[in-house]
Amino acid sequence: MSAALETGSASATIHLYIDADACPVKDEAYRVAARYGLMTTVVANAYINVPRDPLIERVVVPAGLDVADDWIAERARPGAIVITADIPLAARCVKAGANAIAPNGRAFTEASIGEVLATRNLMDGLRSAGQVTGGPKPFSPRDRSAFLSALDLAIVRLKRAGMG
């Protein structure tokens, strides 16, 4: 692993981080990253297969609450794109200047993350109280398409801003 990756130092390159434990769009992210030549780090708390590619790094973190999230958040910076469905992780990444995208294509931004986090916390509280029993809607082909568009848009914007 390079020193820049290990320390999470800021550089003028785009780096893709995938919160991989339950990510349904890993293969799509690999293809987009390959098209743009992006370094990609796949973070999980268990071994996960990744393509044999020098631009793809697998990081297996110890089991534990938020260990993978903490690893990613510590490296989030401008020029990073984080793929995660975890709203608190997305909030931490956006605060650090990174782009955060959900697998369904929703881009988390400084303007939206407060409301998204508040809604998540409200729903979590309602579920804990037994008020809400349903989960998220099933992942659909439309979500996959929206993700691909959002990831491509984030990369293009960063490239135009002089990254990568």
- Give the pLDDT score at 163: 86
Which phi-psi region, left, alpha or beta, contains residue 29 (left: φ > 0; alpha: ψ -120 to 50)?
A: alpha
| Measured torsion, CA atoms of residues 72, 74, 77, 80, in degrees rounded to the nearest 10 | -20
Given this model, what pLDDT does residue 147 score?
97
What residue spans of the chain are helical by DSSP H? 3-7, 26-36, 67-75, 87-95, 113-128, 141-160
Each residue's pLDDT tens digit in the chain (164 positions)? 333 333 343 446 899 999 998 899 999 999 999 999 999 999 999 999 999 999 999 999 999 989 999 999 999 999 999 999 998 999 999 999 999 999 999 999 876 765 666 666 666 666 677 776 666 678 899 999 999 999 999 999 999 998 87
Q: What is the reported pLDDT for 12?
A: 62
Q: Which of 65, 94, 99 is nearest to 83 (CA)?
A: 99
- The CATH architecture assigned to 3-108+148-159 reads 3-Layer(aba) Sandwich (3.40)
Question: What is the model's pLDDT at position 137?
Answer: 76
**Which residue carries 């939206």 as its tokens?**
112
pLDDT at 164: 72
Q: What is the CA radius of gyration of the chain?
A: 16
Q: Measured on CA atoms in the order 70, 9, 51, 93, is the torsion positive or negative?
A: positive
Crossing angle (nearest 10°) for helices 67-75 and 87-95: 20
Residue 2: the pLDDT is 37
**What pLDDT score was predicted for residue 7?**
36
